[in-house]
């Protein structure tokens, strides 16, 4: 039996962390777009959604780190978070292009709107959660 290296564990954890949070965020995004945004506006809807996604990110990261044995080393946590963020950006772009027919330029320009900037800030924070949890007290 081969033991996974720290880099392999961090890489696998990044993929799992991404998948869990993306599934949750996708479901919330549907509710945000179809239910919340028409009632309160796009910016307010993103401001409601972002903390819910980040809370789920915190929990999913903690679970993934424990389950897959990712150590506290800065490098491992950066790999995990960077891969999760990269996968998130790829998935977001693919959805924008394939599901909504938006070209790359329109996808990028979306980040310049208030709602897009808030969303991007939350996505960047999602990428840093594995590193941030190193300093957080454990329950």
Query: Residue 138: inside a domain, yes or no?
Result: no
Sign of the four-CA dihedral 139, 49, 89, 26: positive
Token readout for 134 is 């190193």
Determine, yes or no, domain membership for 46.
Answer: yes
Note the pLDDT of residue 135. Answer: 77
CB 60 within 8 A of CB 21: yes
Q: Which domain holds residue 95?
A: 6-132
Q: Can you point out the beta strands (E) in 13-108?
A: none
In a domain, 139, yes or no: no
Q: What is the pLDDT of residues 109-122, one digit of tens each?
A: 999 999 999 999 99
pTM listed for this prediction: 0.92
- What pLDDT score was predicted for residue 4? 81
Reported for 23-30, long-range contacts at CB under 8 A and 24+ positions apart, including other chains, are: 24/53, 24/56, 24/60, 25/49, 25/53, 25/56, 28/52, 28/53
Give the chain's domain count: 1
State the pLDDT at residue 74.
94
- Count CB neighbours of 137 within 10 A: 5
Provide the mean pLDDT of the chain: 94
Domain-embedded: residue 12: yes
In this predicted structure, the answer to whether residue 90 has a pLDDT above a threshold of 80 is yes
Is 1 domain-assigned? no
């Amino acid at each position: 039996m081969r033991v996974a290296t720290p880099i392999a564990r961090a890489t696998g954890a990044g993929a799992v962390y991404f998948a869990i949070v993306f599934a949750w965020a996708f479901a919330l995004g549907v509710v945000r777009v179809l239910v919340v945004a028409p009632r309160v506006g796009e910016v307010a809807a993103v401001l409601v959604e972002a903390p819910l996604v980040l809370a789920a990110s915190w929990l999913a990261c903690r679970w993934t780190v424990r389950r897959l044995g990712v150590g506290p080393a800065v490098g491992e946590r950066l790999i995990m978070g960077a891969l999760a963020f990269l996968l998130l950006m790829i998935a977001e772009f693919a959805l924008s292009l394939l599901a909504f027919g938006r070209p790359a330029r329109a996808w990028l320009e979306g980040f310049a709107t208030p709602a897009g900037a808030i969303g991007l800030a939350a996505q960047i924070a999602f990428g840093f959660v594995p590193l941030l949890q190193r300093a957080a007290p454990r329950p």
